[in-house]
């Protein structure tokens, strides 16, 4: 099942090689290990904690870079100023599945001889100009957690571009074992089990249908909220094939309620939105002492974290979507 899912996912995602993992965190840690990353890794504070935790647990130091106000991805124009003689890699995140500025990021990486590992936890099936964004950089990781567009209950993957790298990753996710008599690396156990793989094979059969249902929900939200003053909606990018995994809105000062007030109002009416990502990773106690984590260095990310709200979006939402729309409209019209 494990081997079948690796093969079928590589075909579906249009990528050369794919290694399955027990979870996305294990994939991130193994990617860092595979590329022998050390020192400092430039990343974004506007992400889930797994991104920076993987760097820290690897023994490296995350360096937080501010984000682009439109895409909410790492701002490529601000990366170069953070590079030091200790920098060895960049770990951008395709936030909400929106592609990073891969061309600019990788130009910087080439100039300074840095590795690039994309955290593609949100990026399942995302294409730009007909090509998978998962093939960008040196490696890209995926998450197949139960909340993701495609899931294996829990799981993850690494996408690589050559057979030698895939072979090394196969060893690193299986205790560094080369064969029955040789262990050539010190490594952990990151393998996906057969039950997860079987569930993934089942999910893969219907994933296109599930994405279409998500798309219809996203379109209904956009139609309903386009003219609501104080709500900034996600924008469609013509060159990008999206997966509609998230529907983030930014609640601006001209909206009648603050983001937190809107969150609370929805919650008491049985609508569970998420402040995704708030607080910033850089605000958590393990990281706030870092110089790059200081709020003055991250004004755009701080503003986004204070205003972002992800509305419910999942294939079975159905008629309940109208409740979300009606509640937001009731507030907006007061």
Residue 318: the pLDDT is 87
Q: What is the pLDDT of residues 2-26, one digit of tens each?
A: 999 999 999 999 999 999 999 999 9
pLDDT tens column, 268-322: 999 999 999 999 999 999 999 999 999 999 999 999 999 999 999 999 998 899 9
Best CA proximity match to 260, nearest among 272, 275, 249, 282: 275
Helix axes 321-332, 194-225, angle to 10 degrees: 40
Percent of residues, the chain, with pLDDT higher than 90? 98
Distances (CA, A) of 118 to 61, 151, 211, 324, 325: 17, 19, 22, 33, 34
For 297, list phi and psi in degrees, rounded to 5.
Answer: -85, -10
pTM of the model: 0.97
Q: Where are the alpha helices (DSSP H) in the chain?
A: 2-13, 24-34, 49-57, 102-112, 163-172, 194-225, 259-268, 299-307, 321-332
Stretch(es) of the chain classified as CATH 3.90.1150.10: 207-332
Mean pLDDT score across all residues of the chain: 97
What's the pLDDT score for residue 123?
A: 98
Q: Which CATH class is domain 207-332?
A: alpha beta
Average pLDDT for 226-255:
96
CATH of domain 2-202: 3.40.640.10
């Amino acid at each position: 099942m494990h081997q079948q899912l690796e093969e079928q996912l590589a075909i579906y995602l249009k990528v050369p090689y794919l290694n399955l993992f027990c979870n996305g965190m294990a994939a991130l840690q193994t990617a860092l290990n595979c590329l022998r990353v050390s020192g400092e890794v430039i990343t974004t504070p506007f992400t889930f904690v797994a991104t920076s935790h993987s760097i820290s647990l690897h023994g490296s130091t995350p360096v937080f870079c501010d984000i682009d106000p439109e895409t909410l991805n790492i701002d490529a124009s601000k990366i170069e100023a953070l590079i030091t003689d200790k920098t060895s890699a960049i770990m951008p995140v395709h936030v909400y599945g929106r592609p990073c500025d891969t061309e600019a990021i990788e130009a910087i990486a080439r100039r300074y001889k840095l590795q690039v590992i994309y955290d593609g936890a949100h990026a399942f099936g995302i294409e730009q100009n007909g090509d998978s964004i998962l093939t960008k950089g040196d490696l890209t990781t995926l998450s197949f957690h139960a909340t993701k567009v495609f899931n294996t209950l829990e799981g993850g993957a690494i996408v690589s571009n050559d057979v030698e790298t895939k072979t090394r990753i196969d060893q690193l996710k299986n205790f560094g074992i080369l064969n029955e008599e040789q262990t050539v690396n010190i490594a952990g156990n990151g393998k996906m089990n057969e039950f997860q793989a079987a569930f993934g094979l089942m999910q893969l059969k219907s994933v296109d249908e599930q994405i279409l249902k998500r798309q219809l929900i996203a379109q209904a939200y956009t139609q309903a909220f386009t003219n609501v003053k104080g709500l900034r909606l996600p924008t469609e990018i013509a060159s990008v094939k999206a997966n509609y995994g998230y529907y983030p809105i930014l609640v601006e000062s001209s909206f009648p309620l603050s983001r937190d007030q809107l969150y609370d109002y929805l919650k008491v009416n049985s609508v569970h939105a998420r402040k995704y990502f708030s607080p910033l990773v850089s605000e958590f106690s393990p990281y706030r002492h870092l110089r790059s984590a200081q709020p003055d260095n991250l004004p755009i990310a701080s503003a986004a974290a204070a205003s972002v709200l992800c509305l419910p979006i999942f294939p079975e939402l159905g008629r309940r979507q109208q409740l979300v729309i009606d509640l937001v409209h009731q507030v907006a019209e007061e």
